[in-house]
Amino acid sequence: MTSTFAQWTLDVRDVDLMARFWAAALGYRIEPDSDGGGAHLRPPESAPAGTLSVWLQPSAGPKHEKNRNHPDLVAAEGRADMEVERLLGLGATRADVGQTGREGFTVLADPEGNEFCVLNHRSY
Protein backbone atom coordinates (compact mmCIF):
# COMPACT_ATOMS: atom_id res chain seq x y z
CA MET A 1 0.00 0.00 0.00
CA THR A 2 1.22 3.52 -0.80
CA SER A 3 0.00 7.06 -0.22
CA THR A 4 -1.15 9.49 -2.89
CA PHE A 5 -1.42 13.26 -2.89
CA ALA A 6 -4.90 14.51 -2.02
CA GLN A 7 -4.49 18.27 -1.79
CA TRP A 8 -1.98 21.09 -1.59
CA THR A 9 -2.23 22.99 1.72
CA LEU A 10 -0.93 26.53 2.06
CA ASP A 11 -0.73 28.67 5.21
CA VAL A 12 -1.91 32.20 4.39
CA ARG A 13 -2.56 35.43 6.25
CA ASP A 14 -5.40 36.76 4.09
CA VAL A 15 -7.60 33.78 3.18
CA ASP A 16 -9.98 35.80 0.97
CA LEU A 17 -7.19 37.45 -1.06
CA MET A 18 -5.32 34.20 -1.52
CA ALA A 19 -8.47 32.23 -2.37
CA ARG A 20 -9.31 34.74 -5.11
CA PHE A 21 -5.74 34.63 -6.48
CA TRP A 22 -5.33 30.84 -6.51
CA ALA A 23 -8.89 30.19 -7.73
CA ALA A 24 -8.31 32.54 -10.68
CA ALA A 25 -4.82 31.13 -11.32
CA LEU A 26 -6.03 27.53 -11.38
CA GLY A 27 -9.61 27.94 -12.62
CA TYR A 28 -10.90 26.43 -9.35
CA ARG A 29 -14.04 27.28 -7.39
CA ILE A 30 -13.90 28.55 -3.82
CA GLU A 31 -15.66 26.72 -1.00
CA PRO A 32 -15.42 28.74 2.22
CA ASP A 33 -14.80 26.73 5.36
CA SER A 34 -17.98 26.21 7.36
CA ASP A 35 -16.12 27.48 10.46
CA GLY A 36 -15.18 30.67 8.63
CA GLY A 37 -11.43 30.11 8.93
CA GLY A 38 -9.99 28.70 5.74
CA ALA A 39 -11.08 28.03 2.20
CA HIS A 40 -11.09 24.92 0.06
CA LEU A 41 -10.46 25.38 -3.65
CA ARG A 42 -12.01 22.68 -5.81
CA PRO A 43 -10.99 21.84 -9.38
CA PRO A 44 -13.60 22.21 -12.11
CA GLU A 45 -15.88 19.28 -12.86
CA SER A 46 -14.03 18.82 -16.18
CA ALA A 47 -10.68 18.24 -14.42
CA PRO A 48 -9.14 14.78 -14.71
CA ALA A 49 -9.79 12.36 -11.86
CA GLY A 50 -7.23 12.79 -9.09
CA THR A 51 -6.68 16.52 -9.68
CA LEU A 52 -5.48 18.03 -6.40
CA SER A 53 -7.66 20.39 -4.43
CA VAL A 54 -6.15 23.30 -2.49
CA TRP A 55 -6.71 24.05 1.19
CA LEU A 56 -5.88 27.57 2.39
CA GLN A 57 -5.56 27.73 6.15
CA PRO A 58 -5.10 30.87 8.20
CA SER A 59 -1.67 31.57 9.63
CA ALA A 60 -0.77 34.28 12.12
CA GLY A 61 2.75 34.96 10.91
CA PRO A 62 4.27 36.22 7.67
CA LYS A 63 6.44 34.10 5.40
CA HIS A 64 10.15 34.69 6.11
CA GLU A 65 12.22 32.46 3.83
CA LYS A 66 12.13 30.66 0.49
CA ASN A 67 9.51 27.90 0.46
CA ARG A 68 10.89 24.43 1.07
CA ASN A 69 8.33 23.12 -1.40
CA HIS A 70 6.16 24.73 -4.03
CA PRO A 71 3.76 23.90 -6.84
CA ASP A 72 4.87 23.74 -10.47
CA LEU A 73 2.20 24.96 -12.88
CA VAL A 74 1.97 24.35 -16.61
CA ALA A 75 -0.13 26.43 -18.99
CA ALA A 76 -3.11 24.50 -20.34
CA GLU A 77 -2.45 25.89 -23.83
CA GLY A 78 1.29 25.30 -23.55
CA ARG A 79 2.15 29.02 -23.73
CA ALA A 80 4.22 29.61 -20.60
CA ASP A 81 5.03 33.21 -21.55
CA MET A 82 1.35 34.10 -21.85
CA GLU A 83 0.54 32.26 -18.61
CA VAL A 84 3.27 34.15 -16.73
CA GLU A 85 1.82 37.45 -17.94
CA ARG A 86 -1.71 36.37 -16.95
CA LEU A 87 -0.53 35.40 -13.45
CA LEU A 88 1.35 38.69 -13.08
CA GLY A 89 -1.90 40.45 -13.97
CA LEU A 90 -3.66 38.53 -11.18
CA GLY A 91 -1.17 39.81 -8.59
CA ALA A 92 1.82 37.46 -8.81
CA THR A 93 5.32 38.93 -8.86
CA ARG A 94 8.59 37.66 -10.29
CA ALA A 95 10.78 35.97 -7.68
CA ASP A 96 14.52 35.41 -7.55
CA VAL A 97 15.48 32.23 -5.74
CA GLY A 98 18.90 31.93 -7.34
CA GLN A 99 17.93 30.84 -10.82
CA THR A 100 20.44 31.37 -13.65
CA GLY A 101 18.04 32.26 -16.46
CA ARG A 102 18.66 29.01 -18.32
CA GLU A 103 16.02 27.03 -16.45
CA GLY A 104 12.96 25.61 -18.14
CA PHE A 105 10.64 27.55 -15.83
CA THR A 106 9.80 31.00 -14.49
CA VAL A 107 9.69 31.58 -10.74
CA LEU A 108 6.82 33.72 -9.46
CA ALA A 109 5.40 34.50 -6.03
CA ASP A 110 1.74 34.79 -5.08
CA PRO A 111 0.46 37.97 -3.37
CA GLU A 112 1.83 36.77 0.01
CA GLY A 113 5.27 35.87 -1.35
CA ASN A 114 4.86 32.08 -1.69
CA GLU A 115 6.99 30.94 -4.60
CA PHE A 116 5.74 28.77 -7.44
CA CYS A 117 7.01 27.93 -10.91
CA VAL A 118 5.47 28.08 -14.34
CA LEU A 119 7.07 25.32 -16.41
CA ASN A 120 7.95 26.04 -20.04
CA HIS A 121 6.49 22.64 -20.92
CA ARG A 122 5.00 19.65 -19.17
CA SER A 123 7.97 17.72 -17.86
CA TYR A 124 6.24 14.56 -16.68
CATH code at position 9: 3.10.180.10
Beta strands (DSSP E) in the chain are 7-12, 29-32, 39-42, 53-58, 72-74, 93-94, 105-109, 115-119
pTM (predicted TM-score):
0.88
104 and 120 assigned to the same domain: yes
Q: What is the pLDDT of residue 124?
A: 54
Domain co-membership, 54 together with 5: yes
Tell me how far apart the alpha carbons of residues 22 and 102 are, in angstroms, rounded to a whole number.
27
CB 33 within 8 A of CB 49: no
Residues 33 and 85 in one domain: no
Instruction: Indicate if 1 and 48 belong to the same structural domain.
Output: yes
- Which residue stretches of the chain have pLDDT < 50? none
Contact yes or no for 92/108 (Cβ under 8 A): yes
Of the residues 62, 95, 114, the one at which a domain ends: 62
Same domain, 50 and 104: no
Do residue 57 and residue 6 come from a single domain?
yes
Note the pLDDT of residue 123.
Answer: 66
Domain of residue 89: give its range: 63-124
Domain boundary among 62, 89, 107: 62
Number of domains in the chain: 2
Domain boundary among 42, 62, 82: 62
Q: CB of 83 within 8 A of CB of 73?
A: yes
53 and 91 both lie in a single domain = no
